Amino acid sequence: MKIGIASDHAGFEQKKQLIEQLKEAGYDVTDYGAHTYEVTDDYPDIIVPLGMGLLHKEVERGIAVCGSGVGVSVAANKIPGVRAALITDSYSAHQGVEHDDMNLMCMGGRVIGQALIWELTQAFLKAKYDGGERFQRRLNKVIALEKQFK
């Protein structure tokens, strides 16, 4: 599976560690930035390349890390085709994919530790979209909302 990853300065160290873990686990990882630690960078700028990677199917899933995870989640959901959520527990990490076809998991590097980041990442990447009638019906409504408010 091709995974895209991005972080601002507040998630930079966690992103570096996560890239190593993902590669060791056999994932194909694309780092969309930031590529250097820059305390003045802004999360909206770093999430756009990852969101575009998802939109253009360069990657199947994305992971973004900022200080709380809220900023990257808010910004990512402005990009058509991106279904991002702030994740802090294993249930939501897999359920978001299974029920809502979430394709971008957002986490807070200042609020959760590396062990939990890895646990959430594994749950997110192992999950598969259910595709059942009720889930697809709801997803279709979300996609319609996205088109309605372009």
Active-site residue numbers? 66, 99
Grouping H, G, I as helix, E, B as strand and the rest as coil, residue 140 is: helix
Q: Is 120 helix (H, G, I), strand (E, B) or coil?
A: helix
CB atoms within 10 A of CB 50: 28
Give the relative orientation of helices 114-126 and 90-100 as an angle to the nearest 10 degrees. Answer: 20
CA dist., res. 33 & res. 4, Å (int): 10
Measure the CA–CA gap between 4 and 28, rounded to whole angstroms.
9
